[in-house]
Structure 1
């Protein structure tokens, strides 16, 4: 068994990232090589794909896993997505929800203005270009005479959110349901 200590520098690749799969090969998480080796050492996981690198101890050298699979099923939590500027712009596809202008220069607009009791929740915020946001200002839709292209909704829970906006290793791609 390889003994890993906190003092081991990363030249041994223990901080490398490993894809963790459920028993049914569904992606669960991304963990460090240290955690992956620990799971394998405890008999909870098996390596599926090894990287070209090795991990060394004083007495052994083993292939560094790139993808491991648990021997048992883990329920994937489906948590609601946190509202953030970036998540909102992705939900709205970087498009103004009033004039349909595609731009990276977006602002957050509250459909029911906060000054009139509107909340900062998924169902009350949309992406707006600066011109439309200034035109609407602190007015309601009726007062501003602007029309929404689509009603704002909370995005559905996505168990694969950890793979969005990140570079995916080539050997992980067969296990991820879409090109993230």
Structure 2
């Protein structure tokens, strides 16, 4: 049961993703309502059958002043499609500071990119231009909705009305 469920705030804005058991528990405890269910799967017990949720909506509004994507190694790999942004390989991936830290480069979304060990070693303490490397996609900070839609793996079709609100941002 590795499927994911989209959690909506009370105002139908995308809030988070959770597991099916957690979503079922929220609905069962009347903390959320079922908005969309799977056509193919059901949750079964010995005595009952329940719909498998794909989208739920919380009954109470949750105020989140900052809803962003955490800066982690895996999230950068997801943003970059698990490919070296210099040569395109998927082997021996690591992180690279586009502007090297020794030259004042920061550890943030706009300066970190995925690179293979070979390209990272070739680049060394230089900028991509100085090392004669072309960067395929400039690093950027994804919005929460963009990350849900583009980088969180398989997205259920029932999620699209709630996460297809913003256009993709490229720098």
- TM-score bucket of the superposed structures, by smaller chain: 0.5 to 0.7
Counterpart position of 1:114:
101
Distance 1:139 1:32, change over 3 A: same
Long gaps (5+) in structure 2: 162-171
- When normalised by structure 1's length, the TM-score is 0.59
* Max Rg structure: 1
Partners of 1:24 and 1:80 in 2: CA distance: 18
The CA RMSD measured in Å over matched residues stands at: 3.9
Distance 1:81 1:39, change over 3 A: same
Counterpart position of 2:136:
149
Aligned length, in residue pairs: 149
- When normalised by structure 2's length, the TM-score is 0.62
User: Residue 52 of structure 2: which of 49, 53, 66 is its match?
Assistant: 66
Mapped contact 2:6–2:159 kept (Cα < 8 A): no
Counterpart position of 2:75:
87
State how 1:13-162 maps to structure 2 within 5 Å: 29-30=17-18, 31-39=22-30, 45=33, 49=37, 51-54=42-45, 63-67=49-53, 69-70=56-57, 74=61, 79-99=67-87, 101-158=88-145, 161=148
Distance 1:85 1:20, change over 3 A: closer
Mapped contact 2:73–2:95 kept (Cα < 8 A): yes
Long gaps (5+) in structure 1: 1-16, 56-60
CA shift for structure 1 position 133:
0.7
